[in-house]
Amino acid sequence: MGGNNLGGKIPTDLGSLSNLSYLILAANHLTGAIPHSIGNLSNLHTLSLPYNNLEGSIPTQLGQLSKLEYPQLSAYNLSGMVATSLYNISSIYFFSINKNQLHGILPLDLGLTLPNLPGFYVSSNQFYGQIPSSIANATRLVQISFTNNSFTGPMPMNLGTLYALESFAASDNSLGTNQHNELMSFLTSLFNCSSLTQLDLATNHFKGLLPHSIANLCTKITWLTLQDNYIFGSIPLGIGNLVNLQYLILDDNMLTGSIPNSIGKLSMLEILMLYKNNISGEIPSSIRNLCRLGTLDLSTNTIEGSIPISLGNCTNLQQICLHYNHLTGAIPYQIFGLSSFVYLSLSQNYLTGLLPQEVGTISMAFRQLKGIQELDVSRNNLSGQIPRFLGEFRFFQYLNLSYNMFDCEVPNGGVFTNSSAFSVVGNSKLCGGIKLLQLPTCPIEVLHERKRPSNHRVIVLVVTLTIVVLSLCILAILYRNRRSRQQVNLASPLENQYPQLYYGELFQATNGFSAANLIGEGGHGYVYKGILNSDEQIVAVKVLNLHEHGANKVFVTECQALKNIRHWNLVKIITACSSIDFKGHDFKALVFEFMENGSLENWLHPCLLEQHEPKNLNFVQRLNIAIDVACALDYLHHHCEMTFIHCDLKPSNILLDADLCAHVGDFGLAKIFFATNGISIRQQSSSIGIRETIGYVAPGKGPTSNMFTGNVNLHSYVKMCLPEQVMQIVDPQIILEMEVEPSRSMQSSTTNISKPEPCLVPVFQIGVSCSVEMPSERMSVKDVLKELHKIRNVFLGVRGQRH
């Protein structure tokens, strides 16, 4: 009967329903006290009365309900003490009395009398005394909440026995002693809680050093709040180990030192609050990896240096609070491109320079802040004009530009029409604006300056731009000459052509580059399956091992090559990533389209250990795959600006999509032939080079030459192993499939085929011809493609049909 807008009092007659097992009256408008007669319901399992307007105390008679499992008495105005008998019902499975006015001391034997608890909730009451250490005896506990009471004394140090514990909340109490090692001891006691996801100890009396051992907490932890205590020391470098953290709140303590660069490892972080400490140093550039960050509050510290430009990469930021620090330099316009912004506070720093004006891309970025509600840049050293388009922001609640060095006219539109919504005091060179400001009238030349820059500024701007352009041209010529002596000038990098990704996004997409996501590896790196959060697209991420010799050149070479290669039967590149990892090391990766059906190798030679059903390809499917591969090679050989020779074609490098269409996944730069002069250029190393080629590699990668020893090569091997009876080396599954449906498979408008050999023999002939040792004697890929189409048409009897 929950949620039915019931009113009035709970009838006392309910106590006569002796067989009643469930009494659920939650979320109504019930008033009065809980009837004592409820204690007569001897078979009651569930008593759910939260979210009503009940008052009075919890009847002592409820202690008679020996079968009670779920007492839910939260969120109304109950007062008084909880009867001891209620704590003695050992069958209770879920104990919830949150958000009342109950008081008293919890029994010392609480965990012994309620041994089956997975959840214990007494938050937002007036309980006092110590948290009983016996609670550790309730070994099934998953969630514990003591928040917002008056508990005092030390924390129980035996909670490490609660292996299933996921959430422990004890904020807003008076817990803690004067012992400096108490916090360290308590956190150490939680190391065995391997399921812990939330730890909230905020607003207590904990004192002591923030232990480095905090990095040893369960890596599943998502919520760590220790604010408003007396904790000192620096933020440990190992904080980056807690890779699933979403909320890190350490504000209002006595922390010192700098923010460690390892903070960039916390790619799941949504809220970072460190305000009101004594933190110094600079804001680490690794903060760019915090792609999910929504709130950043570093205010009221002694942080110095400039605001990092990389903060503009945190595209989900809604609030930035950096006030009351020692920041210097200009405000990077990149942060004004964050369209999600609601609140930006940079006051009480030493910032200089201009606010973005109505010129070029800067104003376009600033104009994206249509949802911003508050902007405070007061008490800095900012100068120049106040941008007129600030008045266009409809949701502005307050704009504080006071105590800077702004000059010229105050705009008179939008927020500037409401004197209580903005402040420009302390800017002695301002003029104009609404009358309530009582500023002097602007001289005529100032008004003209709004419309056009002065001749002096125009001259300075033109001269500066001319010098910059000439300098860049000279540098470009010198660089180009230097590069031309080293290598042929290839295409521009991929980054100019594809959407840019950063390390944090790929880290998140691949579950931290976990082994479970690994789908391949090669000499220059690894390939991971990933999901890009931007559009839930499944991708293959090829990560280069930059410790390998020549790996950086591999990345550049691949980017330049892939920029010019486009074909349906080549694995599609999505983007490239050149960034830094959470440790500040260089990181380079290529992101490819993911192929659902894996490699042809896995279909032709499935692993015996695989649990799923064996994979089978019929003759037509195999022909189609061969045609797809031939189409890809024909494109690489004859239809590119530069002719690409693959050099490593094999089943593991042929990937199949959901429709079993083939895509060459390792098309390479082993050799490039320029069509203009026919000169062959051998790359020292591409992503696979002669040994490795462009694209992501399926498992089992390796050049075919490594498969042979002595003087044996692929062609001699084929000639030696191909018996006179060709049917001996054919997959029996093909023969079975061809013979089961002769009426479909063996009829042709031009040829009557009663046996499979007439279609198989031409395929083998193509294979032998393509493996001749002398390249000049091999069949051209154009002829291969033509012959394969002919074989398929003969077999199907219908031209162009694809099964």
∠ CA 525-531-534, rounded to 5°? 120
- Strand order from edge to edge, sheet including 350-354: 304-305, 326-329, 350-354, 381-385, 405-410, 429-432
DSSP string of 124-180?
SSEEEEPPPGGGGG-TT--EEE--SSEEEEPPPS-GGG-TT--EEE--SSEEB-S-T
For residue 369, the tally of other CB atoms under 10 A from its CB is 23
DSSP string of 509-525?
HTTTT-GGGEEEEETTE
Tell me if 542 is assigned to a ligand binding site.
Answer: yes
* Token code pair at residue 706: 């490594």
* Token code pair at residue 704: 């075919």
For residue 760, the tally of other CB atoms under 10 A from its CB is 20
Rounded CA-CA distance 664/695 in Å is: 8
Rounded CA-CA distance 731/717 in Å is: 19
Rounded CA-CA distance 454/772 in Å is: 77
Residues 6+ apart with CB under 8 A from 640: 564, 565
DSSP string of 452-497?
S--HHHHHHHHHHHHHHHHHHHHHHHHHHHHHHHHS---PPPGGGT
**Of the candidates 94, 73, 216, the residue with the CA atom closest to the CA atom of residue 143:** 94
* Token code pair at residue 511: 């579950």
Output the CA torsion sign for 642, 647, 652, 654. positive
* Token code pair at residue 527: 């390939």
Rounded CA-CA distance 705/428 in Å is: 79
Rounded CA-CA distance 628/785 in Å is: 9
Rounded CA-CA distance 352/328 in Å is: 7
3-state secondary structure of 528: strand
Rounded CA-CA distance 661/434 in Å is: 69
**Of the candidates 160, 217, 206, 157, the residue with the CA atom closest to the CA atom of residue 183:** 206
3-state secondary structure of 723: coil
Distances (CA, A) of 697 to 521, 534, 637, 789: 7, 25, 21, 28
Rounded CA-CA distance 765/592 in Å is: 34
Q: Which phi and psi angles does 289 have, rounded to 5°?
A: -80, -10
What residues act catalytically?
Answer: 648
Extract the annotated binding site for ATP: 542
Extract the annotated binding site: 542
